[in-house]
Amino acid sequence: MNAAPDPDAAPMARALELAARGLWTTDPNPRVGCVIVRDGRIVGEGWHEVCGGPHAEVMALAAAGAAARGATACVTLEPCSHHGRTPPCADALIAAGIGRVCVAARDPNPRVAGSGLARLAAAGIEVRTGPGARAARRLNPGFFSRHERGRPWLRLKLATSLDGRTALADGRSRWITGAAARADNQRLRARAGAILTGVATVLADDPRLDVRVPGAARQPLRVVLDSSLRLSPVSRIVAPPGEVLVLTSSADAGRRAALASAGVRVERLPAGHGGVDLAAALRRLAELEINELHVEAGATLSGALLAEGLVDELVLYMAPSLLGAGARPLAVLPEPATLEQRLGFTIRQTRRVGSDLRLILRPAAGRN
């Protein structure tokens, strides 16, 4: 006998579609959608559009009006129970007379972490959790990472030739991949809370590392790891739009003052192997409410992040060309003693982007 269809499946799928509309705008808040259903019909829907604005539940309740009383609310993340930038959504659902709430995923924020669901249940509202949980987490990898692991979700972007080379021997790399791949990477930048690079890349390429997507609502924080404060105050990365943070292990007050006069924020962190302690840098960015960290760096920093197991997702744009053995490598990594010790990845997605191939990879099980 076939099981009866889940009445929450379709409205939760719609709520997840709505949540994805906030991909570029809600940071550091999560992307959340809400659908209100009465007698099998959607009577209100909404999503969290921008940080500081109304949450998804409030938007959906406003759209539903009086029809919300006794209805079911399908929400992609547990309704908040605390006063933050906006009042608690759990209270709004209770006040509207919602009869039932279906939640995809529990909120990992310690200020919520089940208290929103408890408040709803205490008010006599039937609560269900679970449908769409994996999709809700996929939509907010950085929000869950920041609260559960104390560091952002780190996405490392690399562009390579077929033979794993990123630049000619003299450093020239514009452009290995085509315009479509570069535009695709702009969209990845736009969803991040911060873009990180190393000072060697800034000195070599003088990049802007800003977002140039039409309609982009904000500029991610640009972060430079610079252990000895070599960054020039006139570098293009320092220029508007957006803010720049330099993380250093140097105590040089003069260089720090020169950067500060150009509007650069400088913070000192412990030194690690060969530069700033990478784990400490990620912890600090989590404290600054960075959910997703997009990294565009050279072979040395990319290799260090990979070797320390700090990369959660590798986005690899591969151009159909060969640069030869003398060209610069993808990442500087120690050679494994055996094949069993090599860094392994699982391919999560392959896609043609213009004339190039985009691979999305995750570390093999047990790496992170």
For residue 228, the tally of other CB atoms under 10 A from its CB is 12
| Helix axes of 9-19 and 56-64: crossing angle, nearest 10 degrees | 120
Q: Identify which of 280, 231, 226 has the alpha carbon closest to the alpha carbon of residue 249.
A: 226
CB 232 within 8 A of CB 329: no
For residue 346, the tally of other CB atoms under 10 A from its CB is 11
The residues that are catalytic are 57
Strands 271-272 and 275-276: antiparallel
Helix (H) or strand (E) holding 304: helix 299-307
Cα-flanking dihedrals φ and ψ of residue 360, to 5°? Answer: -110, 120
Distances (CA, A) of 219 to 24, 180, 259: 10, 21, 20
